[in-house]
A and B are shown apart, each in its own frame.
Chain A
Amino acid sequence: MSKKLLYISLLAAAIVALLLPSCTPGSCFEETNAYVKATFYLESSGKADAPDSLTLLGIGRDTGAIYIKSRNLRQALIPLDASTEGCGFVMKINGVYDTVSFTYTTYLQMLSKDCGYTFYHTIDIPVYTTNIIDTITIVKSSITTFSEENIRIYY
């Protein structure tokens, strides 16, 4: 009886050990960049409306634009520079140029074991020119990896 109990236990331990998942490193499937999520609104109607064309590039970044003549873009994802407390962008909406500057505080955020760390920000009211942009309002000043609207650009 006792030995039978022991054998059953050892068998159970072996089965449980086999069922446990192995400790292999996983992969990161999360968003790891905290963008300013900017939604475009028509100033005249007050309704969300994607511009016919949007070009966006960071001031001081000669290489590459974030968007080039992008069409039907309802929400632009604007990356902030984590190494400084502010950065600026040239925004060309429907062929008209404006500049938008952000100032912010930055803090580290652990995402997960697989993805590691990212930088989150808290933005102040942006400074901008008003050639085609009418106003920019802040909806949520915390810039995270979550899918939530941060600013509204009325044009």
Chain B
Amino acid sequence: MNNINWRIISNHIILLIGVVFMSLPVWVAFSTSTHSAETILREGLQFWPGTDFLKTYKEVMFEEAGVMKSVLGITMLKNSMILGIGFAVGKVIISMLAAYAIVYFRFRLATPLFWIIFLTLLLPLEVRIIPSYEIVAGLGLLDTNFGLIVPLIASATGTFYFRQFFKSVPEELLEAARLDGATPWRFFIDILIPLSKTMIAAILIIMFVVGWNQYLWPLIMTTKEENYTLVIGIKQIYQILSEGGELPQYQKAFALTIMATLPPVLVVLFFQNWFVKGLVESEK
């Protein structure tokens, strides 16, 4: 009995160490963001929250020249939202259509097209970043939402998620639908989409997080400050901080970091069960 108790206690200790390891950096970032620049410079990072929460976050989000030269924090938040939602919605629509064609139709180019789609999984944007940039620049798409979002959709992760899911849908459904004379379009709209609701929700959540967190592509293809996303914005702030100069505004950097972290974290926590299910199920 003693043995078992000891095991339970040690389990909790290990888990608590894990929780501290995972949460402490973010907690310290938050606490530090609520102190003044002078305090941080004098005393270093802070463990307990201070009194400057409203002041700093208001400056960072709503005031001209609060963080960047001109762009407001709230504008960057909007840009991140557009990227996250646009990426998620675009990806779900395009990959659902493609997966439907692959799973439910017999057509001549099915196999080669499938392999082309598979190839995109192996070679992420990072390895072809420079030619991608040149092509998007050549098409005049720099600093546009279209140029930001669409090249990111080229990787076919979503298509594979839906392919796996469609394959698990019972065959009898299609047989029955065909006996009733349903057209491919009707079957897709009336049967397959309602069946995929949970899957669609899960993939929307995962893809929102992936889109929100994009770094390299927005970094090179947005040149104007007004198009910065939050992730790009904090990178610029840290750059300014490391260049030195007057009193470094660490609290603002931390505050913007928290703002860049909060929306995807909230989405994941709020839709935890869907998110985990989507992540795990889709990999089977």
Tell me whether A and B are bound partners.
no
